[in-house]
Structure 1
Amino acid sequence: MGAAALAITLSAHAGTGKAPFVAVDIGHTLAAPGATSARGRAEFEFNRDLALQVSAALERLDVRTELVNAEGTIESLAARPAQVPTADFFLSIHHDSVGESELEYWEWQGETQRYSDRWAGHSLFVSRRNPDLERSVLCAVTIGARLQRAGFVPTEKNGRRREYADRQHAVHFYDNLVVLYRARQPAVLFEAGVIKHRDEELLLRDPQRQALMAGEIATGLAACLGAGR
């Protein structure tokens, strides 16, 4: 969808009496920061950086946003969607890792770190327990399509364990993810890439690439929210 068409779509949505409202959740916490990258950086820091970029990109498209877990202190997964009951959509930002059996060791700046260069790429997750699975899948597919159109390559890693909702766009079912099934609105969990992969970690740290990825996520999500409204 081009910029002009997207503007028309969002204008039509606004004609219903409110602008789209998206909750952007920063995955993990300061106390439980998630996976550790190949160079020792916590996943929470990656999640926060990208979530801020996504929020800014949505705001530029006249989509209202609210950051969830901005301080990194919301430990309860159920409390995250509960914080934004009136949002039109719930998007949780994460970064991926790999299993213990796939990790190798290397030295980085005098410290031993663990890595795996086998898997790279993004993926998306939805829950069949979410109250609006249809729009959850639609928005995940729309985001995935925008990312691939911009040159981002999805991973096949998660297809080993998680059933596909849409294989082409790397959208998986993960029914028991709490932030997805406890959300009162359609919801997607986005894994931006594999931080244990040494080359991809550097890409995921790059603010310009983050901004490009965030822009495609925002454009896809805004178009999805405007569809059929």
Structure 2
Amino acid sequence: MAITARRRAGRVAAAVCLALPALSAQAAYVVVDTGHTPARPGATGASGRVEYQYNLVLSGAVAARLTALGERVRRVAADGAEVALGQRARLAPDADFFISIHHDSMQQKYIDAGRQREFAGFSIFVSQRNPRYEESLRCAKAIGEALVAAGEKPSLYHAEPIAGENRPLLDRRLGVHRFDGLAVLKTATMPAVLVEAGVIVNPDDEARVARPDTIERMARAIADGVHGCLRG
């Protein structure tokens, strides 16, 4: 089943990207950003494991897959160094694409109400302040197509009309949202996308995204989506 899903994800990503303008005809230069740092580790999962640890593993798998596909990859914040959000994309100003890997939390009021298990799945974000917004959006959709084809589902709760959320939902089926204020996206000069791979404050989703088979499946889908978009 896992092999079938991966093959389907690759076919879908390739098919979607046939209609997209190529960003690079040769090997692309991709920045893979590990969200947060050990000192500022992001969300804390239901088990107590912090987000940075999840981000580090998945971003490493994404980088490895992109390298295997023939892309040139630079990793950011994978060595534990403190790197300001607004500087991350600027470390490689000549890159063709920037992708930031994260795992998700939720509004505290949901946690306080015991609603953690209601929200699960991935979310993808782009910023309209990015100078290459349309290309960012196209690649975000390609990544979403690959994730859905691999059996993943979007969470969608970031679009809820409440304080702290209310992010415009650009594609419901693919879980693509607009979040103009995200520093790593709006400061990038190249197309840029942020992926929230799963909701780790949900104990069920946290356990799922920690499994090696899930990590491999999601990394392949994310990397194949990026690769297809850049080489389409």
Q: TM-score range by the shorter chain?
A: 0.7 to 0.9
3-state SS of the aligned residue for 2:75?
strand
2:132/2:190 contact within 8 Å kept: yes
Q: Map of 1:112-123 to 2, 5 A cutoff?
A: 116-123=116-123
Deviations 1:202-227 (A, max 9, x none): 11111221011100111111110112
The higher relative CO (CA closer than 8 Å, separation ≥ 6) is in 2
Relative distance call for 1:41 and 1:115 in structure 2 (3 A) is: farther
Match of 2:136 in 1: 136
Match of 1:54 in 2: 62
The Cα of 1:15 is off from its aligned counterpart by 8.9
TM-score w.r.t. the length of structure 2 is 0.86
Deviations 1:113-148 (A, max 9, x none): x98112000010000000111110000001101110
- Aligned Cα RMSD in Å? 2.2
3-state SS of the aligned residue for 1:134?
helix
**Gaps spanning 5+ residues in structure 2: where?**
1-9, 161-165
3-state SS of the aligned residue for 1:78?
helix
1:115/1:198 contact within 8 Å kept: no
1:127/1:180 contact within 8 Å kept: yes
Q: Distance in 1 between matches of 2:216 and 2:102?
A: 16
Match of 1:84 in 2: 92
3-state SS of the aligned residue for 1:154?
coil
Q: Distance in 2 between matches of 1:135 and 1:193?
A: 24
Q: Distance in 2 between matches of 1:60 and 1:21?
A: 13
Relative distance call for 1:15 and 1:179 in structure 2 (3 A) is: closer
Q: Map of 1:1-229 to 2, 5 A cutoff?
A: 2=11, 16=25, 18-104=26-112, 116-160=116-160, 161-227=166-232
TM-score w.r.t. the length of structure 1 is 0.87
Number of positions where the alignment pairs a residue of Structure 1 with one of Structure 2: 212
Q: Distance in 1 between matches of 2:33 and 2:24?
A: 27
Deviations 1:77-103 (A, max 9, x none): 111111111110000000000111111
- Percent identity of equivalent pairs: 42
The Cα of 1:48 is off from its aligned counterpart by 0.4
3-state SS of the aligned residue for 1:65?
strand
**Gaps spanning 5+ residues in structure 1: where?**
106-113
Q: Distance in 2 between matches of 1:128 and 1:156?
A: 19
The Cα of 1:57 is off from its aligned counterpart by 0.8
Relative distance call for 1:83 and 1:15 in structure 2 (3 A) is: closer
Deviations 1:27-56 (A, max 9, x none): 001111000000000000000000000001
